[in-house]
Amino acid sequence: MKRREQSQTEQLRQALAEREAQLQEAQARLAALEGSTSLQVGRALTAAAKRPGRSLVRLPRDLYRLWRRSGTTNHAERRRVEPVRSFDAERQEARLLTGLGGGGTDRLVAATVVGPEVQKAIDPYLSSVVLRPHDAQIVMDAVDVDLLLVSSSAAAPGSSWAHVGDPAAVDRTRALHWVLESAGSRGIPTVLLDDGTAPPALRRLGFDRVYKGDAGVPLHLFNPVAAELALGPEAVYVRTGPDTVVPDVLLELGVGVIDVDSPGLADALRAANVAVIPESTPGEAALRRRAWACGTRVVSHPAVPAPESEDLTVSVPRLRSLGPTPREVRTMLRQVFLEEATPIRLATLLEGLDFSEGTPGTELPLSGRGVAVLADPGSAEEADRLAEDLLSSRLRPAEVVVPDTAGRLPGLQRLRAEGVTVLTVHLSAPDTPEELEREAGTTGPGGLAPGQWAALAERATRPWAYLWTGTIGGHRLVDLVCAAECSGADAVGIPDTAEHGTEPDEGGERGFFDRNTGVRQYVFVTGIEPELARTDLLRKSWHPREWNRRGTRLLALGPDHGTGPDGDDEGSTHVDASTGAVG
């Protein structure tokens, strides 16, 4: 539902509540008046005056009965007159209990009954309205939501919804059932994320969709950003339960131990070069994906070792001493980003649900990955290279913004034919001495002045802008967007070596495509050669040298082994940046 329609709905609901409160008070006062002794005495006297014959004879008896009844009236049966309460006052009082927060138009508003880990995972992608057993009805009445999301992990012991769906927890089950009925009557889709053990009755409450799986990998929590600063052992064993026995050989090797539900799991995986995970245990695949997202190699430990498998006494010391190469880190993280990240999982959950008219639905969780490519191809050959780069990229951009002089080049026509939106903008050249003097010495990336990049960014409609200045590899764009999602940075690019010098890479055996580039990966720096930046940042016309001094967060991502294909053969699968769907 659109925000303007929500505001109108809220006003109508407020007016209706006021009228109902006034009507209730009027009915209560009328009932009290009709049952009062004074009114009945007045009616008896009026009847006697109108018909003095019979009424005067019955008047003493009627007055005596009224007097007796007035002294023995059961006051508990009287309806208590309730004052008219303002709907706004009631809603503000409810907010003291619920802690509601406002949501933006760029995210779906979801009422959630989920476990704490799921809540942390979805917070950047959904505007959550957390329901609790004591305030579920108040919140559902007061807030317009687009989705109701429930997870099986919410029924875990110790949570506010513990054992919901169990016959022993009737109050919580009744509250959740009421929430589902309210959502159904208002046309709100309901989804159960079956991510753990829960009472069987929870799955039978009548959800529109039951999804077997977890919420995916939250890359804002599990990522390789600043991994060299994480403290911990270089090899770690992830214990999946309190009864899990750590293999003696790992204890002898001095391997660290971390529980799967520990708050420090992400830091432990970032610090380690290798993680040992028990094989054939619940959640093994999710653990493996989280380790990959942190740039950590994974070794499975089977309950019964296979004869042909490498022993832990050999594999763990070898992988512990040699950290993953930058190429390996990018490859592992890229796979998680494209297939298992939380936005991808949310899009899968929402696909096919019947949302109310005007709700973007599955597009919103992936809207943060939308990229607009800003380019100024000066010839038909450059336009052809631009089209070839973008069409072969693993992450296909949502739109391309070019000057109007390049809009009719064959390469741009090819992009239009492939379904890529092409926008044009008029770039005015400086024609006065003052403008020429102002732009002298302020050339930015690709030879364009910051003002020209700003003009292109003004036409863009996506949150991210890629500054195309030459041929790139098929994975460069997806790696840049992935780095931005992991770090929350404002701009990503190659470190400015003129300011920071070179630092040696560490770990791993490098092949021809993994030669030392002299820069580290996924670290915050004070200066970069920008490749991907927030569109709003480019619109400010600041020179990249000023970004750090103005409070911008800059993330360094080393170059991909030169230009062109980077040697990672992962097939021709690409992803649409406007939807994030793998194609």
Residue 187 shares a structural domain with residue 242: no
Residue 283 shares a structural domain with residue 251: yes
Residue 524 CA: distances (Å) to CA of 88, 261, 332, 520: 46, 28, 21, 10
Closest to 483 in 3D by CA, of 570, 554, 563, 390:
554
List of the chain residues with pLDDT < 50? 1-3, 73-100, 102-103, 500-517, 561-583
Residue 378 shares a structural domain with residue 255: no
Residues contacting residue 9 through CB under 8 Å, at least 6 positions apart: 1, 144
What does DSSP say about strands 491-495 and 554-556: parallel, antiparallel, or unpaired?
A: parallel
Residue 178 CA: distances (Å) to CA of 144, 159, 183, 552, 564: 16, 19, 9, 47, 57
Would residue 499 count as lying in a domain?
yes
Would residue 97 count as lying in a domain?
yes
394, 472 Cβ separation under 8 angstroms? no
223-255, pLDDT tens digit by residue?
999 888 888 888 999 988 877 888 888 888 888
Would residue 221 count as lying in a domain?
no
Residue 42 shares a structural domain with residue 61: yes
d(CA 2, CA 173): 31
Would residue 337 count as lying in a domain?
no
The domain boundary, picked from 177, 212, 247, lies at 212
Residue 238 shares a structural domain with residue 261: yes
CATH number, position 123: 3.40.50
Chain-centroid distance of CA 270 in Å reads 22
Residue 330: its pLDDT value, please?
93
Residue 60 shares a structural domain with residue 203: no
108: β partners: 126
Residue 96 shares a structural domain with residue 68: no
d(CA 117, CA 109): 19
Collapsing DSSP to helix, strand or coil, 215 comes out as coil
Would residue 297 count as lying in a domain?
yes
Residue 69 shares a structural domain with residue 91: no
Name the residue range of residue 290's domain: 227-324
Residue 469 shares a structural domain with residue 523: yes
d(CA 531, CA 466): 6
Tell me the HSE value of 377 on the side-chain side, using a 13 A CA sphere: 24
165, 205 Cβ separation under 8 angstroms? yes
Could you tell me the two tokens for 44? 């008896």
DSSP state for residue 582 in the 8-state scheme: B
Residue 110 shares a structural domain with residue 184: yes
Q: What does 412-432 look like in DSSP terms, one character per residue?
A: HHHHHHTT-EEEEEPPPPP-S
Residue 194: its pLDDT value, please?
92
Residue 383 shares a structural domain with residue 463: yes
Could you tell me the two tokens for 483? 């780095």
Name residue, tokens 């239009």: 416
The domain boundary, picked from 31, 59, 77, lies at 77
37-94, pLDDT tens digit by residue?
777 778 778 887 877 776 677 778 777 777 777 655 443 343 343 443 434 434 444 4
The domain boundary, picked from 212, 236, 267, lies at 212
Tell me the HSE value of 366 on the side-chain side, using a 13 A CA sphere: 29
Would residue 131 count as lying in a domain?
yes
Residue 73 shares a structural domain with residue 91: no
d(CA 364, CA 3): 15
d(CA 344, CA 578): 12
573, 546 Cβ separation under 8 angstroms? no
Would residue 20 count as lying in a domain?
yes
Collapsing DSSP to helix, strand or coil, 140 comes out as helix
CATH number, position 433: 3.90.550
Would residue 342 count as lying in a domain?
no
Q: How many domains is the chain built from?
A: 4
d(CA 357, CA 337): 30
170-211, pLDDT tens digit by residue?
889 999 999 998 888 888 999 999 988 888 889 888 899 999
